Amino acid sequence: MRICSAPGKMILFGEHAVVFGKPALAMAIDLRVTASLRVSDQYSVNGYPMNARHHAYISAALDEAWNGPPVSIITKSEIPSGSGLGSSAAVTVSAVGALLAERGQFDGESVARKAFEVEYAVQGRASPTDTSVSTHGNGVLVCPDRMDGFLWRIEKGSQHWNVHHCEVRKLTFVVGFTGVHAPTGPLVQKVKDFVESNPEGRRAVDRIGEIVLDGVDALAQADKPRLGSLMRENHSLLCTLGVGHTSIDRLVESCGDKSYGAKLTGAGGGGSMIALTDDPKGVSEAISGAGGTPIVVTVGGRGAVVEQ
Ligand code: MEV
């Protein structure tokens, strides 16, 4: 039996724009997926015969990282699926990690590369943000240029992303899950169509790129008011890109006076929002009162770990 676990993530700044090669800043959260693998007489996932449509990420992970005998894989997740908190990336990273560990080839960079290929294949378009932060843990800054803290460079077609370790400060974030499950692939496609057909979309993507770099600076100084104001601006640009949702806006507005700032996190279209606050209890109550599920998260924990 081989067991690998990997964390979910929250994107502080830069989702969607990063798919166009702009920077993004993401942090691991303390909700994890565990993949347990054993060699078997047929391929199965969670007790069912493997089906490439129903088990798209695991099936693609096997194509990418396995050439041995059939295996049975069981996944256990603490992350709501389609919540914007990186559940598919964590499933992918934990499965790829377990497969590579079984082959005696587990290392962070290989896991991150293969997990990115899996997400790209399943979603049709992706950046390496979610899979890299789930692999590395801590925080990661993804950007076009190579900077201090460089981890790995990932290329796809004409695009490239440099992935860096980013120090995570002790800040308190509350996640608010709307309960609306939104798959990432169609949202990424919707933004692509908008950006390619509307100059306002291109301007929003460019401005989000600037916000991320300002955000890195504000994070290094733990400047909460500045982080909050950048989060608010990033949120409104994501709405311009068409990935906002009334359920998200309700939660973002509910914690306005109790947080430094709030924004949707991840692909949007529902999913989750995050608020930066010194009053996690007040923000959690506000999110519950607005119909969401609050989760006080600890950010910056361990990445992918071979447990056994
Ligand atoms: C989804 O968590 C983040 C997106 O930027 C997609 C991606 O980076 O692959 C929307």
Task: Decide: 181 and 82 in contact? Cβ < 8 Å.
Answer: yes
pLDDT of residue 148: 96
The pLDDT assigned to 49 comes to 98
Q: In whole angstroms, how far apart are CA 169 and each of 34, 139, 162, 253?
A: 26, 9, 22, 25
pLDDT at 51 over 90: yes
The span from the CA of 22 to the CA of 173, in Å, is 24
Domains of the chain, start order: 2-167 (3.30.230.10), 173-297 (3.30.70.890)
Binned at pLDDT 50, 70 and 90, residue 6 comes out as very high
CA 78 / ligand 1 centre spacing (Å): 20
Nearest to 113 by CA among 151, 84, 83: 151
At 107 the three-state DSSP class reads coil
Residue nearest to atom 9 of ligand 1 (CA): 126
For residue 235, how far is the Cα from the chain centroid?
A: 16
Q: Determine the atom of ligand 1 nearest the C-alpha atom of 9.
A: 2
The residues lining ligand 1, judged by C-beta closer than 6 Å to any ligand atom, are 11, 15-16, 18-19, 126-127, 129-130, 184, 188, 266-267
**Residue tagged 């994107």 (tokens):** 11
pLDDT at 271: 96
60-74: average pLDDT: 98
Q: How far apart are the first and last CA of the chain?
A: 7
Query: What is the whole-number distance in angstroms between the Cα of residue 68 and the centre of ligand 1?
Result: 31
**Given ligand 1 and candidates 18, 88, 118, 187, which is best to mutate, with the most ligand atoms within 8 Å of its CB?**
18
Hey, whose CA ends up nearest to atom 8 of ligand 1? 127
Rounded distance between C-alpha atoms, residue 92 and residue 123, angstroms: 12
The 10s digit of each residue's pLDDT in 284-304 is: 999 999 999 999 999 999 999
pLDDT score for 170: 86
What average pLDDT does range 169-173 have in this prediction?
91
Span 201-216, average pLDDT: 98
Q: What does the alpha-carbon distance between residue 88 and residue 118 come to, in Å, rounded to a whole number? A: 10
pTM comes to: 0.97
Question: How many C-alpha atoms does 74 have within 13 Å on its Cβ side?
Answer: 9
Q: Is the dihedral of CA 100, 105, 108, 111 positive or negative?
A: negative
Measured in Å, residue 69 CA sits from the centre of ligand 1 at 33
What is the pLDDT, as a whole number, of residue 200? Answer: 98
Q: Which atom of ligand 1 is nearest to the CA of 187?
A: 10
pLDDT confidence bin for 132, thresholds 50/70/90:
very high
| pLDDT tens sequence across 71-104 | 999 999 999 988 999 999 999 999 999 999 999 9
Which pLDDT score, from 0 to 100, does residue 82 have? 87
Closest ligand 1 atom, CA of 129? 8
Residues noted as catalytic: 130
The set of residues, in sequence order, having a beta carbon less than 8 Å from that of 233 and lying 6+ positions away, is: 207, 211
What pLDDT sits at residue 169? 85
Bridge partner residues of 33 (DSSP): 6, 77
